[in-house]
Structure 1
Amino acid sequence: MAGTCLAYLHHNLFNYPGGETNVPQPQLIIFTDLDGTLLDHYNYSWQAANPALKLLRERQIPLILCTSKTAAEVSKLHQELKLTTPFIVENGAGIIFPENMSSAHFFGKPYSELINLVQQLRRQKGYRFQGFADFSVAEIAAETGLSIAVATLAKQRLCSEPLRWDDNLMKLEEFRNDLTRHGLQLLRGGRFYHVVSDRAGKGTALRWLLEHYPSPENNCWYSVALGDGPNDQSMLEAADLAVVIPSVSGLAPKPQNVTIIHATEQGPKGWNQTVCDILQQFDKE
């Protein structure tokens, strides 16, 4: 499957109609989910993806992190990966510009308003769930496997709320409908459900960023998105090429109307192999 899609990618990028040879090659820009995709689901390591990350740095290909994590969490990882690009946080509810944090762009309701609505619905309807606002830092660490230091950063939320759903599926749909009436949506991630504004989403953030990101001179962007969960679907569908990483949870995204590559391995191993394969195809101009 991956080989067929990569061949299709190469054909469409480099075989221009009429034998044109002076058409500029599109420039790659890569958007990636973190947990279960670039980061290992269990230990949050990205080391297995280091060969591909090094190639992206050498070729100055923009890498945009697009995650359910908070800005505080991603800032630390962003520095570790030696990135200078903007990054997308809290399931597309915010875009952060590391060189100028005050220019961050947000979609929808701020956290204080969002969490008030969520907790009001719980009181009124008796829904059984626990969110990060309810958890202590130690409880977040226990739920996620994060260290206490990183769990502290995960609690610093700006515009979304992860939930552990403890009620039945019928109540879940009722809760989802209640959120919709209040301008919110419920997304399924690898570990939690996430409440965000209905104006937010990874796909929305990807499209906004492409519209505002400087274009390469005389060229256009060819966007690649990688993800492993249902909350990645809108991002995958908004890109030119979608890469589905096998999910540990089994809840794989099913993007529609886009060219798809299915990685053969989970997490950063699958990420590394697929990104290296894509870069190799671009070398075959």
Structure 2
Amino acid sequence: MTQLLVFTDLDGTLLDHHTYSFQPALSTFQALQTFTIPCILNTSKTFAELGELRQSLHHKDPFIIENGAAIYIPKELRLIRDEDHDQYALEDHGHYWLKAFGPHRQTLIDITASLSNRFQFKRFSDMTWQDVAELTGLTEESAKLAMQREFTEPMVWKDSANALNLFRDTLKDTDIQVQKGGRFTHLMGKSCDKARAMLWLSERYADFYQSTVTNMALGDGENDIGMLSKADIPVVVRSPVHAPPEIPGRYDAWLTDAYGPEGWAQAVNKALASRGIL
């Protein structure tokens, strides 16, 4: 049987949409750790935002930040051989190897700085933590952590929709893509994608195990569709606030009965049971 890898979104998936609690999923999460099944967090959150959560979960596996912009791989896992660091263009980040899929944030800031006279926008780098807290409802501490971005730059778009299309056209010859979100418009590298990061890391695990691997991906939102569409076992976790996203061409996708972390646990337990583990 192939090695199972679990890739999971956080907000609304492993974490409850309203309370951000992972308690309903904790025993199942710990079962993955007991059976040494990697559980890779694949989130829009920053490295700084994940610190406390990973400590609470005793999470030791790699994690993907800022919607696929980069992967942090703990060195203690020995997932990457010493002779392969240069081949995979990894950066030394203390206790981690860092794989970036796009330019660093400062490049995004520098390239768009000259456009502020042509378009109306305000980037995170132009804001104080008080601005971010007011826009998002985050606490002071959470706002400061959310601002510690490394590979993406959210901004408030204050111009028209037509102007946004022109803004995109202006950047088409650069390595920057522009994604419109619910609250912010996001600048990021064109190669930044949850699915691409998942597949790259899966290849490293296949090399490590010297065998094929099976990807299970769990998510609840539109930004998880790419990841779910490329997974061997795609799981749509039911949300209490929006309809389940459709996964094009994947009629085999699981849809949980329960919401958030309770649904997450049901799906992971089902996968473990199918392997005779639970």
TM-score of the alignment, normalized to the shorter chain, above 0.5: yes
Q: Distance in 2 between matches of 1:52 and 1:77?
A: 16
Quick one: which amino acid aligns to residue 56 of structure 1? L
When residues 282 and 190 of structure 1 are mapped into structure 2, their CA distance, relative to the original with a 3 A threshold, is farther
Match of 2:146 in 1: 154
Counterpart for residue 108 of structure 1: 102
The residue type equivalent to 1:62 in the other structure is: P
Q: Which has the higher strand share?
A: 2
CA contact (8 A) 1:180 1:198 kept: no
Q: Which runs of 5+ in 2 are unaligned?
A: 76-91
Percent identity of the aligned residues?
Answer: 38
Deviations 1:100-156 (A, max 9, x none): 7342111121100112333433432x23x4432233223323433433223222111
Larger deviation, residues 173-182 vs 157-166 = 173-182
Q: Name the structure 2 match of 1:16.
A: none
Pair 1:196-2:188 in alignment = yes
1-side partners of 2:51 and 2:191: how far apart?
A: 24
CA distance in 2, matches of 1:176, 1:274: 39
Residue in structure 2 matching 1:277, options 266, 270, 275:
270
C-alpha deviation, 1:194, in angstroms: 2.6
Query: Match for 2:231: what amino acid?
Result: A
1:212 CA displacement: 1.5
**Alignment deviations for residues 12-50 of structure 1 (CA, whole Å, 9 cap, x no partner):** xxxxxxxxxxxxx12211001112221223332222221
1:130-187 per-residue CA deviation (whole Å, 9 max, x = no partner) reads 4322332233234334332232221111100223444444444443444434222233
1:215 offset after TM fit, Å? 5.2
Equivalences for residues 65-214 of structure 1 within 5 A: 65-99=41-75, 101-102=93-94, 103-124=97-118, 126-127=119-120, 129-187=121-179, 191-213=183-205
CA distance 1:168–1:275, shift in 2 (3 Å): farther
Number of the residue aligned with 2:231? 239
- TM-score normalised to structure 2 length: 0.81
**Please, what TM-score do these two structures have when normalized by structure 1?**
0.79
Q: 1:53 aligns with which of 29, 34, 58?
A: 29
3-state SS in 2 of match to 1:245: strand
Q: Distance in 1 between matches of 2:39 and 2:229?
A: 18
The 2-side partners of 1:56 and 1:115 are apart by 40
Q: 2 CA distance for matches of 1:91 and 1:184?
A: 14
Per the TM alignment, residue 250 of structure 1 is displaced from its structure 2 partner at its CA by 3.2
* Change in CA separation of 1:92 and 1:196 when aligned onto 2, cut-off 3 Å: same
- For 2:44 and 2:22, the matched residues in 1 are separated by 17
SS at match of 2:30: helix
**Over the residues paired in the alignment, what is the CA RMSD in angstroms?**
2.7
* CA distance, structure 2, for counterparts of residue 206 and residue 262 of structure 1: 20
Does the C-alpha gap of structure 1 residues 173 and 269 become closer, same or farther in structure 2, counting only changes over 3 Å? farther
Residues 171 and 221 of structure 1, relative CA distance in 2, 3 Å threshold: same
Q: Which has the higher helix share?
A: 1
Secondary structure of the residue aligned to 2:172 is helix
The 8 Å contact of residues 190 and 251 in structure 1, kept in 2 or not, is answered as: no
Gap change, CA 1:201 and 1:217, over 3 Å in 2: closer
Paired residue secondary structure (1:97):
strand
Shift of 1:252: 4.9
Residue 58 and residue 192 in structure 1: after superposition, are their counterparts in 2 closer, same or farther (change >3 A)? farther
Aligned 8 A contact 2:133 2:139 in 1: yes
Tell me if structure 1 keeps the 8 A contact 2:256–2:263: yes
1:38 and 2:38 equivalent? no
Kept after mapping to 1: 8 A contact 2:66/2:151: yes
CA spacing shift, 1:143–1:41, aligned 2, 3 Å: farther
- The 1-side partners of 2:13 and 2:21 are apart by 10
Gaps of 5+ in 1: 1-24
Q: Tell me the SS of whatever aligns to 2:253.
A: strand
Distance in 2 (CA, whole Å) between partners of 1:213 and 1:143 is: 39
Bigger mean CA offset, 196-205 vs 206-215: 206-215
